[in-house]
Amino acid sequence: MAANTKDLTTGSIKKVLLSFAAPLFLSQLFQQLYNSADALIVGNFLGKEALAAVSSSGPLIHLFIGFFNGAATGAGVVISRYFGAQDRERVRKAIHTNVLFSLVCGLFLSLVGVLLTPHILRWMGTDPDVLPLSESYFRWYFAGAAAIVMYNVLKGVMTALGDSRRPLYYLIFSSVLNVLLDLLFVGALHGGVAAAALATTLSQGISALLCLVHLLQKDQIYTLKAKELKIDSAILREILRIGLPTGVQMSVISIANVLVQRNINSFGADAMAACGSYAKVEGFVFMPITCFSLALTTFISQNLGAGRLDRVKAGSRFGLLASVLAAESIGVAVFLLGPRLIGLFNSDPAVLAIGQKQCTIESLFFCMLAFSHTVAGICRGAGRAAVPMLVMLGVWCVLRIAYITIAMSLCHDIRLLFWAYPITWTISAAIFFLYYKRSNWLTVPKEA
């Protein structure tokens, strides 16, 4: 077994999954902490208009970054499958194909993001008082989007090979660096929201560099070599077969969320600040969901590559149960502590009132969200990425948009917007449950 990799096809399933998922959980924790640091520092140093500009960035950023990161998931599945099958040559080809393709995509994203930011913000109906700040934040953020994409891609390579600890160490370093840069650029130097974006891209760029240095180590299964950076067409097709549906899935969810954000914007800066603050709180809910979803994707990919269907089935059951219980426990805490959590970002009474409404409506349905995301991770690990794409396209995009359009035409009440999430989470969870119980997802696809 190569250094800094981990074989998930042997040993106690619970211990293997938990030991692999724990660093992923901590990674998500630090990711969320430094995402929240932007909002905390901006909200307290620059006021609620600046907080609204930064906090409302989520849907738009996820629209662009989410697609490319979702596409990179396909590479992780392919690499894990080859690694589980002990096919070293194809592991190396998949890694080099993925890195080169992602670099080109990241540079393209930086260009498009910088050019289209003003147009998209206006389409979203961003409050005119907030628009200049939002435009400044987005442009600086997307200027460094290539570094952000490459960090996630290189981290994904290590995770696919069973190394979830080293990316955690790099993320801890970049999280601390991001907070320090925020305090320096925004607090001490009064650089404004553009400085907060610059702090984020710089810290993630350094993380990408650390990942790259690790992957340049000699004589490892993952060693990157400039002369081997070329596209293997057969492997790229396999990566895109899994990655494109995942990227589309993440993008269409973001499209629906951009529409939600547009409607939130129509309620003014207080609603933008409140919902942005709530999104930071909700981000902590995604930590157990994401860590188990990612862990299961790698676990299932490796075990299917090794032909261990018994471990795939047992591991998926354990991961689902753990993810749902963890998410719902956090949901209860958010329900009870909502006002205090929102108040960390901004103490304005109007902001607190709106944030509390959102906490009350959405938090107890986090179990449905967890079940949907975890089954989606299972499907991706099994090479069936089209399934979560279709479910989430139909429910989290089309149905959610239809509901919002009808609800807002009948009554301009922000609570109706908040209900769009619990309703669609519950419907998707029901569909995923039926698929999980009745389909043949355990069978390895012929294309794999």
Q: What is the C-alpha to C-alpha distance for residues 371 and 432, in angstroms, rounded to an integer?
A: 8
Mapped onto helix, strand or coil, the DSSP state of residue 214 is helix
Contact 108, 247 (CB under 8 A): no
| Dist. CA 411–CA 352, nearest whole Å | 22
CB-based burial label for 190 (10 Å; 0-12, 13-18, 19+): exposed
Cα dist. 430→111, 120, 251, 313 in Å?
A: 40, 34, 22, 19
- Which pLDDT value is given to residue 380? 85
Listed in sequence order, the residues at least 6 apart from 109 whose beta carbon sits closer than 8 Å to its beta carbon are: 64, 65, 68, 142, 145, 146, 149
**Residue 433 and residue 374 in contact, taking contact as beta carbons nearer than 8 Å:** no
CB count within 10 Å of CB 64 equals 24
Q: What pLDDT shows up at residue 42?
A: 72
How many other CB atoms are there within 10 angstroms of residue 241's CB atom? Answer: 18
The pLDDT of residue 447 is 46
Residues 293, 377 contacting (CB under 8 angstroms): yes
Q: In the block, which residue shows the tokens 């309703």?
A: 423
Q: Are 164 and 23 in contact (CB under 8 A)?
A: yes
Question: What's the pLDDT score for residue 420?
Answer: 92
Q: Encoding tokens for residue 390? A: 């279709």
What are the CA-CA distances from residue 311 to residues 8, 192, 277 (Å)?
10, 51, 40
Closest CA to 112 of 175, 168, 60: 60
Rounded to two decimals, the pTM is 0.70
Cα–Cα distance for residue pair 71/94, rounded to 1 Å? 14
Contact 222, 215 (CB under 8 A): yes
Cα–Cα distance list, 160 to 26, 154, 187, 418, 431 (Å): 17, 10, 39, 35, 28
Q: Which residues of the chain, if any, have pLDDT below 70? A: 1-5, 34-39, 47-49, 52-64, 124-127, 442-448
Residue type, 70: G
